[in-house]
A and B are shown apart, each in its own frame.
Chain A
Amino acid sequence: MSEFVDQPAVSFRQGTDTLLRRRLLNAKVFRTVCMLLTYSSLAVLGVLMGSVLWSSLSRLAPDFLTNHYSMNPVRCGILAGLWGSFWLVLLTAAMSIPIGVGSAVYLEEMAADNFLVRLIRINLSNLAGVPSIVYGILGLSAFRPLMISLQTFFDGTRAINVLGLFRVRILHLEIFDGSVLIGAMTMSLVILPIVIIASQEALRAVPSSIRVASLALGATRWQTIWRQVIPAALPGIATGVILAVSRAIGEAAPIMMIGVLTVASMCPGGIETPLQLLQDPISVIAVPFDQFTAMPVEIYDWSKQPDPQDRFTDVAAAGIVVLLGVLLIINAAAMIVRARAGRRIQW
C-alpha cells in the first residue's frame, strides 16, 4: 500500500490551487508525525538500553555472575537469582508445556462444539487478560497451604526412604515457604493461556488436507494428530512456547506474592556451579522444595535499595543486562527454530 505517493498527477502553477497545496502539506505533515511516533518508541528502547548499559559498566564483571548477594554493592552478585530463575523456568516449562500443548490439541483437533468446550474457549480468552499478580494471590492462598500439607505428609513417611537411594537428603527434605515448586506452579498458570493460544495458532496453520489424507489412508484420529499434525505444527509450537516461557523469566509479580526471597545468599539445593550438578546429581531432588530468588525479584530489590551514593543502581543495571542477555539468547533460539522450519516445510 506504499505505492501511492502524494504528488499531484499534473504539475500546477504555484498559487493556483491553495486548497490542493494545503492538503498535500497536510498529508506530508501526517506522514512525518506517524513516522516520528513509530520511531520514538524505538528511540525509547535505544535510550533504555543505552542508559542501562552505561550504568551497568561499573559493576558488569565476571564475578557479578558468581557472587552472592552482599550489602557491599561492589561485591554484590546475581548468582542466586540466576540459578533460581533457571530452576523456576525449568519447572514451569515442565508443567505448562505438556498441559498447554495438550489443551491446544484438544481444543483444535478433538473438541466437539458443545457448551463445555465453548465455556473453555471463552474462559481462556478471559484468563489471558487477568493480571499476573492475581495468579500470585492464587499461589499464595492455594498452593502454599497445599505444600504445607505435603510437608506433613513427608514428615510421616520419612522412614520409607525410597529404597535407601536418597539416603541423607530425603531425611532432611524440608518444604519451604516460597519454594521453587510453588513459584513454578504459580508461574505455569500465568503462562498457560499464552502457551495454549500460541499452540492453537500453530495447529491451525497446518492445512486440513494433511488431516484428510491421513484419515483417508486409514489412520485413526489420534494417529493423525500424533504422526502428522503435531510434527507439522511443531516448529510453530516450539516458537510460541519458547516466547511464552521467556515471559516467565521476566515476570516478578506473581512470585513476589508467594513469598520468594528478595535477599538470598543461597541457591536452590545448594547447587552453585554446573560442575557441582554433575558431581552430585542427587541434590536436584531438594531443588523444587527449596527457597529461591529470581533475577527480576533481585533487580526490584536493588532498584529500591536506599543507598546514599546510589551505588545499588549500578548493581540493578548490571542485573538487568544479565536478564536481558538471557532473554535475548532465548529469543534468538526461537528465531532460529522459526527460520529453519520455514526452510524445510513447504505446503
Chain B
Amino acid sequence: MSDWFSAKKNRRHETVIRTGLFVCAALSVLTTGAIVYVLLSNAVYAPGDKTAFFERVTVTEFLTSTQWKPVEGDRGRFGIWPLLSGTMMVALISSLVSIPAGLGAAIYMTEYAGPRERQFLKPMLELLAGIPSVVFGFFALKFVTPWLLKPVLGLLNLDVSIFNSLSAGIVVGVMVTPLIASLSEDVIRSVPRSLREAAHALGSTKFDVSMKVVVPAALSGILASFLLAFSRAVGETMAVAIAAGGNPVMAMNPLKGSQTMTGFMVHASTGDSAADSISRMSMYAVGITLFLLTLLINLISGWILRRYREEYQ
C-alpha cells in the first residue's frame, strides 16, 4: 500500500547517506590540504603575529649552507644539507640491501619456488614487513652495531661509532625488502607464461629466462618498486632516530653518526623548546623538504609505472 511512499523515503535517505559517504571520502583531500597548509603557514608565510621560518632564514641559506645548528641568535646555522645527506646516506645504504634481497626474493618466489614453499615464504615476508620500526632500531643499536659491524670492521681497523648510518641503513633495508619483494613479485607474475615458454623453447636456461626475458619485461614495475622502497626509507623515522644518532654533520662516513631529516623532527618536537622558537619552526622547513622529496619520488615511481608499462594480452 505504502510502497510508493517508502520508495520515496528510501531515495531521500539514500541521498543523505551518499552525501555522508562522500564527505568521508573527501576527508582525505582535506587531510592533504591541511598538511600543506600547516607546513606552508609555519615555514613560508605565517598569518597573524607569528613569523614563519623562511621569514627569518633565507631560502638561499637553507639550500646552500652546510651547517645545521638550529639555535636562536647569531650562532644559528640553517643549511639543510647535513640532514639531507644523512637521510640520503641511510636511504642509499638501505637500497644496497633491499634491492638485491627484494628482487632476488621476487624472482625466487615466482620462478623457482613451488606452491608449498611460496605458501611458507609469503607469510614470513609479511611478518617481516609487520615488525614495527622501533624494533628494527633496537636491533640496529643493540645487535647489528656491537655484534656485527664492530667485530667485522674492527678486523679492518675501522672505527665504528655506537651510533652510525651503516647500521641504520642496513636495518631500514631489511625493513623495506618485503615491499620490493611483494611489488616486484606481482609484476613478475603478470609477465605472460607464453614469453617464458618461448624462451625455454629456444634453449634458454632459467637464468636466461629470468634475467633476459622476464625481468626486462617487468622492468617498469620493478623500478617503481625500488623507488617506492627508497621513498619509504627516506621517510623512515624511529629506526633511524635510534640507530643513526643525533649529530647533524655533513655525513660522508657511514661508520659515524649522522642525523636524518626525520630524526631531527622527532628530536625537535620532543625537546623543551617553545612553540615559536626557531628550532621548532625549523622543523616545519625540514618537514616540507621531506614531504616534497617523498612526494617527488612517489610521483616519479607512478610515472615510470604508467609510461613504461608493457601491456600483454
Contact of B178 among A41, A123, A125, A317 (CB under 8 A): A41
The reply to whether B109 and A38 contact each other, CB–CB distance below 8 Å, is: yes
Chain A interface size, as a band, is 35 or more
Please report the C-alpha to C-alpha distance between residue A131 and residue B294 in the assembled complex, in whole angstroms. Answer: 8
In the complex, which residue of chain B has the Cβ closest to the Cβ of A45? B128
Least Cβ distance of B84 to chain A in Å? 14
Interface residue B1 (Cβ < 8 Å from any Cβ of A): no
The reply to whether A131 and B266 contact each other, CB–CB distance below 8 Å, is: no
- Number of chain B residues whose Cβ lies closer than 8 Å to a Cβ of chain A: 94
Known contacts A131-B237, A313-B142, A324-B131; A303 and B21 CB within 8 A of each other: no
Q: Hey, which chain B residues are within 8 Å of A262, CB to CB?
A: 270
Interface residue B217 (Cβ < 8 Å from any Cβ of A): no
Q: Hey, which chain A residues are within 8 Å of B38, CB to CB?
A: 137-138, 141-142
Contact of B110 among A1, A106, A130 (CB under 8 A): A1
Query: Which positions 96-138 of chain A face chain B at CB distance < 8 Å?
Result: 98-100, 102-103, 105-107, 110-111, 116-117, 119-120, 123-127, 129-138
The reply to whether B31 and A23 contact each other, CB–CB distance below 8 Å, is: no
Known contacts A27-B206, A324-B135, A327-B130; A41 and B101 CB within 8 A of each other: yes
The reply to whether B295 and A252 contact each other, CB–CB distance below 8 Å, is: no
Interface residue B112 (Cβ < 8 Å from any Cβ of A): yes
Interface residue B265 (Cβ < 8 Å from any Cβ of A): yes
Query: Which positions 291-332 of chain A face chain B at CB distance < 8 Å?
Result: 296, 299-300, 303-304, 313, 316-317, 320, 323-324, 327, 331
Interface residue B45 (Cβ < 8 Å from any Cβ of A): no
The reply to whether A129 and B270 contact each other, CB–CB distance below 8 Å, is: no
Please report the C-alpha to C-alpha distance between residue A111 and residue B20 in the assembled complex, in whole angstroms. Answer: 12
Known contacts A2-B111, A106-B18; A24 and B266 CB within 8 A of each other: no
Mind listing 24 A-B residue pairs with CB under 8 Å? A1-B193, A2-B112, A23-B205, A30-B210, A34-B108, A37-B101, A37-B103, A44-B174, A51-B139, A102-B21, A130-B235, A131-B262, A133-B235, A135-B35, A137-B265, A138-B34, A193-B28, A252-B134, A262-B270, A296-B238, A300-B241, A313-B142, A317-B142, A331-B130
Question: Interface on A for B, CB 8 Å cutoff?
Answer: 1-2, 4, 6, 23-24, 26-27, 30-31, 33-38, 40-42, 44-45, 47-48, 51-52, 55, 98-100, 102-103, 105-107, 110-111, 116-117, 119-120, 123-127, 129-138, 140-142, 189, 192-193, 196, 220-223, 243, 246, 249-253, 256-259, 262, 296, 299-300, 303-304, 313, 316-317, 320, 323-324, 327, 331
